[in-house]
Amino acid sequence: MNRLDPVDQQHAYSPDPRVPQREGDSRRYRSLVARITVALEKIASRSVALSEMYCYPYRDVVAREIALADIKCGEHVLNVGCGPVPFTAIHLARQAGVKVTAVDCDPDAVKLAQNCVRRLHLQDRIDVVLADAALDVPTGFDAAIVALQANPKEAIFKKLRENGGETSRYVFRSPSSSFRNRYDALPESVRFDAWIGQNMKTFNKSLLYQGSNQGVSA
């Protein structure tokens, strides 16, 4: 686990100046990426072999997040923005032995994810439910891991803190500098407790927020 000094805290949220910052371009790119990602996941979700292949690159990502948030066997973990192949939930159940509630606001994605979980015989450890995490999330959880594509992240963070406890932990994947204007991220005013590096193109850090220690801008 790593901790950032104040300078790193500031620059962790700074967009790459080489990347165009036009909001219209950003929204169109996000929409295109989302459609492509969902299309690929929908195909993969229909096959055990393809689902396992899709999950594999994220095995170490989730392992680092389990260590970062000190997730323990027997805890209840939320996976926000699970998609048709809920790879985060799958790795959480397999690696940490936790009970996972995976949520997504897309009814088609939820149905496909439920079928994917059944094909992998993980239905006793993973519940997939339809929910917009910006409006409501299940209660009684110990930790939450929020997908890079989930948005709006500030609203999701506020709702998680409303429904979580004093010891709850929240992990958000932080876009790498080249993708800072293409994926939603928490604002600089939301201070994280710790972070861990990730070797992914679209996100290079997972950020940890804990309990009631963080301030959220009005």
Provide the residue ranges of all domains of the chain, joining segments of one domain with +. Answer: 22-210
Which helix (H) or strand (E) segment is 204 a member of? strand 203-210
Mean of all residue pLDDT scores within the chain? 84
Identify the CA nearest to 162 among candidates 108, 93, 216, 199.
216
> pLDDT category, 46, cuts 50, 70, 90?
confident
Rounded Cα–Cα distance for residues 30 and 211 (Å): 30
Tokens of 61: 């990502």
Rounded Cα–Cα distance for residues 64 and 136 (Å): 27
> pLDDT category, 3, cuts 50, 70, 90?
very low
Tell me: cis bond preceding 57? Omega within 30 of 0 counts: no
Instruction: State the Cα angle at 97 between 4 and 66, rounded to 5°.
Output: 5
205 Cβ contact partners less than 8 Å away, ≥ 6 residues apart: 12, 173, 174, 195, 196, 197, 198
Question: Which of helix, strand or coil describes residue 174?
Answer: strand
Partner residues linked to 130 by β-bridges:
104
pLDDT tens digit sequence for 167-210: 999 999 999 988 888 899 999 899 999 999 999 999 999 999 99
pLDDT tens digit sequence for 120-177: 999 999 999 999 999 999 999 999 999 999 999 999 999 999 999 899 999 999 999 8
Q: Is the pLDDT of residue 11 over 60?
A: no
183 and 21 Cβ atoms separated by less than 8 Å: no
CA 66 to the chain's CA centroid: 12
CATH code linked to domain 22-210: 3.40.50.150
pTM reported for the whole predicted model: 0.80
What value does the mean pLDDT take over residues 23-50? 67
pLDDT, position 52 = 87
What value does the mean pLDDT take over residues 73-99? 97
What value does the mean pLDDT take over residues 76-86? 96
| Residue, of 37 and 55, whose pLDDT is higher | 55
192 and 134 Cβ atoms separated by less than 8 Å: no
